[in-house]
Copies of this chain bind each other. A is one copy, B any other.
Amino acid sequence: MTAALRTVSLEDVAKEAGVSIMTVSRAFRRPEALSEDTLSRVLQAADALGYVPNQIASGLRSRRSQTIACVIPTISSSVYANVVQGLSDAITADGYSLVLGTSNYGVDEERRVMTSLLGYRPEAVVLAGGDHRPELTRLVTRLKAPLVEIWELVPKPLDMNVGFSNHAAGAAIVEHLIRMGSRRIALMTIRAEHARARARRIAYEAAAARLGHEPIVVTSELSIEGGRRGMAMLRARHPDVDGVFCVSDSIALGAMLKANEIGWSVPDEIAIAGFGDFDIARHIPPGLTTVRVPEARVGQVAGEMIMSRLLRRPEGPYTVDVGFEVVARGSTNRNPMKRVRR
């Protein structure tokens, strides 16, 4: 067991500078309250000793941990990685730090991890989505701290909410498929559907009903390989479809590659749409039509709303819809007159 070593404290700096510890404390927190002479002497002493203010002691006494707790499903997904990046950038300027946990898409794990993070007495809490264990809901609402649910717009936010409507996005992309000429559209989704995928499915089902056909749903895994398999299944079971909405770009990419292999012509025989606008989507011929969500902006707005509540005006918007954009590319471009968007 490594011995826990003492680091430089206010007292050490105070001795070095020949002042009281309170004066040193003020040198960092309210420098304008000190005389120029004292201030420079203190800062010089602090610098010489390599003093770094102890946030733990400060947090205990002042009840301000300068910390924000965030639990997301996973970091290994560019979606959440970008959200976290935006969040982190938005709060560091004000001296706040991010304490991060991952739930691996499980509500029990989310509760466990966030409960443990609450031990650090974060001044604000960020959770993904709107589906949480009631025990966790009780715990975080009782904190009376700013709380943001991110990524999807939820029906009844606990406090603040930043994201976009998966239902609207699903409806928009299926609408796009229809407008481009598809009349029999399938949905390719994932086995264990979470709230996000479910909302997209519901929008799809409504559209299928309007087209006058039963929903055609293929389930697979969330990967390129999953998309390939899904496409093979679709070809075998429903060769009559002329459009497919994949709930993720990974799946759509796999579907597109598989279609190419088996000679199912995209977009002439089958149009393909994805979700996420991954980097590759615009580059893979003939270009993948998809939905783009401003990921980093979700985190950034969440961070700004939190900091606004913590430091500035007490009130602001509680729900922000960051929107989405249907990016039309070649994979749905049935009309040879229209140019492919790059």
Point out residues on A near B: beta carbons under 8 Å. 1-7, 50, 52-60, 62-65, 67, 74-78, 81-82, 84-85, 88-89, 92, 95, 97-102, 113, 115-121, 123, 138-139, 142-146, 223-225, 228, 250, 253-254, 257, 260, 279-280, 283-285, 296, 309-311, 314
In the complex formed, the residue of B with least CB distance to A309 is: B2
B121 lies within 8 A of A7 (CB)? yes
Cross-chain pairs A/B with CB under 8 angstroms, 9 sampled: A2-B145, A52-B118, A52-B119, A57-B60, A76-B296, A97-B100, A99-B99, A99-B100, A100-B100
B100 lies within 8 A of A88 (CB)? yes
B85 lies within 8 A of A102 (CB)? yes
- Given A1-B311, A76-B82, A280-B253, A138-B50 contact (CB < 8 Å): yes
- Chain B residues with Cβ below 8 Å from A2 are 123, 144-146, 309-310, 314
- Given A2-B309, A98-B100, A76-B85 contact (CB < 8 Å): yes
A139 to B253, CA, bound (A): 47
Q: How far is the CB of A108 from chain B (nearest CB, A)?
A: 14
B88 lies within 8 A of A75 (CB)? yes
- Given A54-B121, A78-B76, A311-B1, A257-B228 contact (CB < 8 Å): no
- Chain B residues with Cβ below 8 Å from A60 are 54, 56-57, 60
A142 to B76, CA, bound (A): 33
A74 to B85, CA, bound (A): 7
A119 lies within 8 A of B75 (CB)? no
A98 to B89, CA, bound (A): 17
Copies of this protein in the assembly total 2
- Given A55-B120, A60-B60, A97-B97 contact (CB < 8 Å): no
- Chain B residues with Cβ below 8 Å from A58 are 119
**5 tightest Cβ-Cβ pairs between the two chains A and B:** A4-B63, A55-B119, A81-B81, A75-B85, A76-B85
Having A52-B118, A81-B81, A228-B283, one finds 20 other A-B pairs with CB under 8 Å, namely A1-B310, A2-B123, A2-B146, A2-B314, A3-B144, A4-B62, A4-B64, A50-B139, A52-B139, A56-B65, A76-B81, A78-B81, A88-B101, A97-B100, A97-B117, A99-B99, A223-B279, A250-B279, A257-B285, A280-B280
- Given A2-B309, A76-B296, A115-B52, A283-B7 contact (CB < 8 Å): no
B81 lies within 8 A of A92 (CB)? no
Q: How far is the CB of A79 from chain B (nearest CB, A)?
A: 10
- Contact partner of A5 (CB less than 8 A), chosen from B4, B7, B118, B144, is B144
- Contact partner of A92 (CB less than 8 A), chosen from B6, B54, B101, B223, is B101
A143 to B113, CA, bound (A): 28
In the complex formed, the residue of B with least CB distance to A57 is: B60
In the complex formed, the residue of B with least CB distance to A228 is: B283
Q: How far is the CB of A192 from chain B (nearest CB, A)?
A: 19
Q: How far is the CB of A103 from chain B (nearest CB, A)?
A: 11
Q: How far is the CB of A99 from chain B (nearest CB, A)?
A: 6
Q: How far is the CB of A126 from chain B (nearest CB, A)?
A: 13
A75 lies within 8 A of B81 (CB)? yes
